[in-house]
């Protein structure tokens, strides 16, 4: 299963400039703290998911009506394993403000999607955090 909690060891975290956008408002700049995830870290997460899936498939396959359970376990396992395999960066922190109301934005540490949706605590709008792809590429190559 993917580990939703951040590693206690955050060595390798770097900071980068990003921006926060909200349709109809001027974008604001933000500073993100990112931890690149190595191929080994992603494998350590996704391989156990695949193994658990392969163990569960024959177990749930004996329960009538068979096929829906097998497909559900295969689909869920594939989804979780792929999600972990695509987890290239953990977003560990953010300093930025909402383009609409100017309130400080907060993030829970987790997988960075790019673009990454953040809900403003003050005005409840869904803002979009975007990290320049060239920044991610530069840091991803160090850990590939």
Binding site for Zn ion (CB under 5 A): 98, 100-101, 103, 120, 122-123
Min CB(109)–Zn ion separation in Å: 21
Q: What sign does the CA torsion over 38, 42, 48, 51 have?
A: negative
> Does residue 129 contact residue 30 with C-beta atoms inside 8 Å?
yes
Max CA distance (Å), the chain: 57
Min CB(26)–Zn ion separation in Å: 13
Q: Is 34 exposed, middle or buried (0-12, 13-18, 19+ CB in 10 A)?
A: buried
Both tokens of 110, joined, read 């987790």
Which residue number, 45 or 96, has a Cβ lying nearer to Zn ion?
96
Min CB(122)–Zn ion separation in Å: 5
Both tokens of 35, joined, read 């931890």
Both tokens of 78, joined, read 């594939």
> Does residue 22 contact residue 127 with C-beta atoms inside 8 Å?
yes
Min CB(100)–Zn ion separation in Å: 5
Which residue number, 126 or 142, has a Cβ lying nearer to Zn ion?
126
Which residue number, 71 or 103, has a Cβ lying nearer to Zn ion?
103
């Amino acid at each position: 299963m993917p580990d939703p909690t951040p590693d206690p060891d955050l060595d390798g975290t770097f900071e980068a400039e990003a921006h926060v956008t909200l349709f109809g408002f001027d974008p604001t700049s933000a500073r993100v703290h990112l931890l690149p995830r190595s191929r080994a870290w992603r494998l350590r997460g996704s391989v156990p998911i695949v193994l658990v899936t392969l163990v569960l498939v024959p177990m749930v396959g004996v329960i009538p009506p068979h096929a829906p359970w097998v497909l559900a376990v295969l689909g869920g396992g594939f989804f979780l394993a792929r999600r972990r395999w695509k987890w290239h960066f953990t977003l560990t922190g953010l300093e930025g403000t909402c383009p609409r109301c100017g309130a400080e934005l907060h993030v829970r540490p987790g997988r960075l999607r790019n673009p990454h949706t953040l809900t403003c605590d003050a005005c409840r709008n869904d803002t979009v955090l975007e990290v320049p792809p060239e920044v991610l590429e530069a840091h991803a190559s160090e850990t590939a």
